[in-house]
Amino acid sequence: MKNAAIPKFDGTNYKRWKDLVRLWEKVTEMDDAKKGPALILHMSGSAQDIALAANPEGLTVDALIKLLDNVYAEDNDLALKCDEFDRLVRGKDQSMKEFIHVYEQKIKELQAGKVEIPEIVLATKILRAANLPMNHYLIVRSSCSEMKLQSAKEALLRISEKCPSSKTTTSDQLDFIQVKEETLDFEHPTMMCDTDYGIHNTFYGHDVDRRDILYSG
C-alpha cells in the first residue's frame, strides 16, 4: 500500500500509536531508511522534540520506538489511561451502545495495568458519564437494583431504547405519572417519568409512596 497513512503521535496514547506503527510497517512501501524520519514528521509537541534531539535522519523505526519507550512506556502510558477514563463523557452524537463499549474498553486497559476500580465507582461513573439530561439521569439512577456496572449498563440501554433523543432536556417521549393531589399535603404535584425500568418518585424533595401515584395513559 503505497500511500498508507502515517500514524500521528502527540505524546498521548503511546501504546496505541506503537500498535499502529507496527501495522503501518507491514503495509507501507516506503523505504526503511525513510520510515523513522517520516514518523517524526508526523509527531507534535514534546514527542517530536525528543526525537529531533536524537539524530532524526538516522533513526530507524525500532530505534525511534526504543527512544520513546524511555519516556512514554508503561507508567506514563497508564497514567494517561487513568486520566482518559476520568474525563470520559458520552459525545453528542454517540449512541449509548457505542459509549458503553468504549467505557468497557477503558476499564480493560486499566485492568491490564493492574488498576482495580470498585464496582460502585464504575457504576456511578458510567451513569454520570452517559451525559443524560437530569430527569433521565434520575430515572436511570433510581432504576438500578444495585449499584453495580452491569445493572447500570442495562438501565442506560433501556432508557436509550425508550428515549432515542436522550440528549434533550424534555421528557415528551416518556409516559408521565401524576401524584394525587388529594393524598398529599402539597399544593402542586410533581410530574415524573413512568417507564418499564422504574420510577424516580420525588415530590419537591420528599419521597412519595407508590400508592400515592396515579398512572396516566
SS3 state at 75: helix
- Please tell me the predicted confidence (pLDDT) of residue 4: 84
- Please tell me the predicted confidence (pLDDT) of residue 165: 56
Beta bridge partners of 195: 198
Residue 208 to residue 190: CA distance in whole angstroms: 10
- Claim: this prediction has a pTM higher than 0.85: no
Q: How many CB atoms are located within 10 Å of the residue 55 CB?
A: 10
- Please tell me the predicted confidence (pLDDT) of residue 202: 37
Task: Catalogue the E-assigned strands of the chain.
Answer: 175-179, 191-194, 202-203, 206-207, 213-215
SS3 state at 71: helix
- Please tell me the predicted confidence (pLDDT) of residue 179: 29
- Residue 104 C-alpha cell reads as 468497557
Q: How many CB atoms are located within 10 Å of the residue 34 CB?
A: 11
Q: What is the pLDDT along the chain (217 residues), one digit of tens a residue?
A: 567 899 999 988 888 899 999 999 999 999 999 999 999 999 999 999 999 998 878 889 999 999 998 888 765 667 778 888 999 999 988 999 999 999 999 999 899 888 889 999 999 999 999 999 998 899 899 888 889 999 999 999 998 888 765 553 333 333 332 323 333 333 333 333 333 333 333 333 334 333 333 232 3
- Please tell me the predicted confidence (pLDDT) of residue 15: 83
Q: Which of 186, 183, 187, 165 is nearest to 174 (CA)?
A: 165
- Please tell me the predicted confidence (pLDDT) of residue 76: 63
